[in-house]
Amino acid sequence: MHLWISRTILFSLCLLWSYFGHAQNSDAQDLLLELTEANLRETAELIPRLESAGGEQFLPLFNTLLAGDLYYEKQSKKLLSISKRDGQYLAIDVLGGNDLGEVEKSAIKKIRVNNSLRTLLRETIARINLTSQSAEKRLAAAKTMLGDVDDTSASLIDQRLSVEQDKAVVQALSLAKAIYVTVEGDEVSERVAAIEQLEGHLEPEVRVALSQVLAVDQGGVYTEPSTAVMKAAEKVNAGIAGKIKFYGFVEQLFFGLSLGSVLLLAAIGLAITFGVMGVINMAHGEMMMLGAYTTFVVQQLMPNAIGYSLLVAIPLAFIIAGSVGVLIERTVIRFLHGRPLETLLATFGISLILQQAVRTIFSPLNRQVITPDWMSGSWQINTVLSVTYNRLYILIFALALFMLLVTVLKKTSLGLNVRAVSQNRNMAKAIGIKTDRVDALTFGLGSGIAGVAGVALSQLTNVGPNLGQSYIIDSFMVVVFGGVGNLMGTLVGAFTLGIANKFLEPATGAVLANILILVFIILFIQKRPKGLFPQKGRAAND
C-alpha cells in the first residue's frame, strides 16, 4: 500500500515537472518570436523577460545582440548570428550553435540595437554571469567588471558579495567595487578606505583609477580637492610602482637566464673539444644546424604527433651530429694536431660544405619547425609578469644537459680518459690511454651535444643554412671567458654574459650591448688570459 502511494506521488510530480517545463519552454519560444517583430522599446521590455525565462541559456543570444550581429530568418523566424566575409553572409544558429553556412541577404533581417539597449544588455549579461553555477564563469564576469562599474552594477556587486562563497570571486568583486568608489565615491572616508584596499594590486584598471585621482590640470594643480584622498592615492601608487619595478627586474633577469641557457647549449660542446683537443672548430655551428634540421625532418615524418617530435628528435640529433663529428675528426682533424691555423681553415671549409649541402637538400629558404602545444603560450604569474613556456623549458633542458654531461665526465671511464688527455696528453698516452680514440669520441660527444642544442634552438629561431653562424662567435666568447675546457666556467660565463647583455640592451640597444660585452671580454682576457676558471694540467703549463 505504501509502495503504491509512493509511486503515485512520484508519478504526479513527474507530470507536474513535465507540464511546467513544457510551459516554461513554450513561454520562452513565444518571447523569442516576439523579439523578431519588436521595435527598440519593445526589445528593451523583452530582455528582462527573456532573462527570467531562460537565464544562462540565452547568454549567446544576448552577447550576439550586444555585438550587433543578431538577425532572424524572415520565413522561419529562426535567430541567427551573422558574420560577413568576402561579401558573403555566414550564419550560425544562435541557440543551437549549428553552422548553417552562407545565407542570402534578402532572406534575413537584422534586429536593431541602440546605446540604451547595449547598456541594458551589459547589465543583463553581467547579472547572469555573476549568478552562474560555475565559479570560473563568475570569476571571469567579476574580472570583466574591473574599471567598468556604474551605479547599477555597483548595487549588483553588493548583492553578490552578500551571498558569494568563492574567495577568488569575492576578491575580484571587492576590487571592482573599490575601483568604483575610488573614482566615483562621495564620502572622503569611503574613498580613502577604497584606495587602501587597492594596495598591492597590479591590474591596469587599478593604476588607471589612481592616475585619475592624481590627475593634474593645465595649471599644474591637482584636480582632486581632498588632501586625505590624495595622500592615500600617492602612497598606494608608490607601492604599486615599486612592485612593478621589481617584477620588471625579475623579467629582465629571466630574459638574461634564457639567453644564457641558449649560449650554454651552443658553447658546452665546443668547450669539450676545444679543451681536450685544442681544436678551433669553426664547423661547430653547423652541428647545431644539423640538429635543427633533424627536428624539421622528424616533424615532417610524424605530423600527427608533433607533441612527441622533440622527444624523438633529441636522440636522433645527437646520433646524427655526433656521427658527422666523428667522421670529421677521423678524416681531417686527426692529421692537423698541433697546427691550429690549418685546423681553423679546414673546419671553416667544412662548415661551408655543410651549409651548401643543406641548401642543396632543403633549399636556401628557412624551414618552419612547429612548437608543440606543451611548449606554447606563457605562464602568467601576475598582470605584469609572464614567462614563456618555450624559454622556461629550454632553460631547464640546458641545466639538465649540463648536469648529465658533468656526470658522464666524472663517473665514466670515458670521462676519466677525457680529463686525463685534457690535462696532459703525453702522460695519458704513456700510461696506455688511446688518445686517438679519446679524440674521436670527444669530438663526437661535443658535436652530438651541439646537435641537441640545435633541437632547442629550433624552438626559438628560424631553421636555415645560416643558423649556426649566429652562435659560433658567441660560443667562443663564452668558452674563452669561462676558461678553456672548464665546464663550470662555461656555465658561469654563459649566464654572466646572457644576463649582462639583457640588462644593457634597454639602455644601449642590442647592437651596442653586444659591442660592450665584446670590449669587456677583450679587457678581461688582458688581465686573466686563462679565463674565470683556468684549466689545470696541460692548459696551465701551456
Q: Is the pLDDT of residue 16 over 60?
A: no
What mean pLDDT comes out for the span 100-109? 82
What mean pLDDT comes out for the span 64-72? 84
Answer yes or no: are the C-beta atoms of 112 and 40 closer than 8 Å: yes
What mean pLDDT comes out for the span 98-118? 83
Burial letters 44-83, b for 16+ CB under 10 A, else e: bebbeebbebbeeebbbbbebbbeebbbbbeeeebbbbbe
pLDDT in tens, 338-390: 777 888 888 889 989 999 998 988 888 888 888 888 888 888 888 888 888 88
- Binned at pLDDT 50, 70 and 90, residue 61 comes out as confident
pLDDT at 275: 67
CA 117 → CA 41, 64, 110, 121, 228, distances in Å? 9, 13, 15, 6, 39
List strands edge to edge, sheet with 88-93.
99-103, 88-93, 79-85, 70-73, 108-110
CA 480 → CA 47, 445, 473, distances in Å? 73, 20, 11
CA–CA dist 319, 503 (Å, integer): 37
pLDDT at 268: 86
Q: Is the pLDDT of residue 63 over 50?
A: yes
User: From the DSSP assignment, how many helices (H) and strands (E) are in the chain?
Assistant: 21, 7
Query: Judging by DSSP bridges, how do beta strands 385-388 and 378-382 pair with one another?
Result: antiparallel
Q: Is 43 exposed, middle or buried (0-12, 13-18, 19+ CB in 10 A)?
A: buried
Q: Is the pLDDT of residue 457 over 80?
A: yes
pLDDT in tens, 398-456: 999 889 888 888 888 877 777 777 666 777 777 777 777 877 888 888 889 989 988 98
Q: What is the pTM of this model?
A: 0.74
pLDDT at 110: 85
What mean pLDDT comes out for the span 471-485? 82
Residues in the chain: 542
User: The C-alpha cell of 353 is what?
Assistant: 660544405
Amino acid at the residue 50? L
pLDDT in tens, 329-348: 888 888 877 777 888 888 88
Q: Is the pLDDT of residue 230 over 80?
A: yes
pLDDT in tens, 239-261: 988 998 999 899 999 999 988 88
- Binned at pLDDT 50, 70 and 90, residue 12 comes out as very low
Q: How far is CA 127 from the centre of its chain?
A: 33
- Binned at pLDDT 50, 70 and 90, residue 460 comes out as confident
User: The C-alpha cell of 122 is what?
Assistant: 551589459
CA–CA dist 183, 212 (Å, integer): 7
Spatial CB neighbours of 528, under 8 Å, sequence gap ≥ 6: 534
**What are the φ/ψ torsions at residue 376 (nearest 5 degrees)?**
-90, 160
pLDDT at 423: 67
pLDDT at 294: 92
pLDDT in tens, 492-511: 888 988 898 888 888 888 78
Grid-cell match 676558461, residue found = 483
pLDDT at 540: 45
User: The C-alpha cell of 199 is what?
Assistant: 594596495
- Binned at pLDDT 50, 70 and 90, residue 22 comes out as very low
What mean pLDDT comes out for the span 19-23? 38
Query: Judging by DSSP bridges, how do beta strands 99-103 and 108-110 pair with one another?
Result: unpaired
Dihedral (Cα; 322, 328, 331, 335), 10-degree rounding: -120
- Binned at pLDDT 50, 70 and 90, residue 19 comes out as very low
User: The C-alpha cell of 54 is what?
Assistant: 531562460
What mean pLDDT comes out for the span 8-29? 45
Q: Is the pLDDT of residue 30 over 80?
A: no
CA–CA dist 317, 7 (Å, integer): 71
Bridge-partner residues for 109, per DSSP?
Answer: 72
Bridge-partner residues for 85, per DSSP?
Answer: 88
Nearest CA to 121 out of 183, 67, 56 is that of: 67
Q: Please give the residue that has the higher pLDDT: either 533 or 23.
A: 533
pLDDT at 161: 83
User: The C-alpha cell of 104 is what?
Assistant: 542570402
pLDDT at 246: 92
What mean pLDDT comes out for the span 451-480? 85
Q: Is the pLDDT of residue 316 over 90?
A: yes
**pLDDT over 90 percentage in the chain:** 7
Domain ranges of the chain: 22-116, 132-225, 249-375+384-468
Bridge-partner residues for 91, per DSSP?
Answer: 82, 101
Instruction: Say how many C-beta atoms besides its own lie within 10 A of residue 171's C-beta.
Output: 14
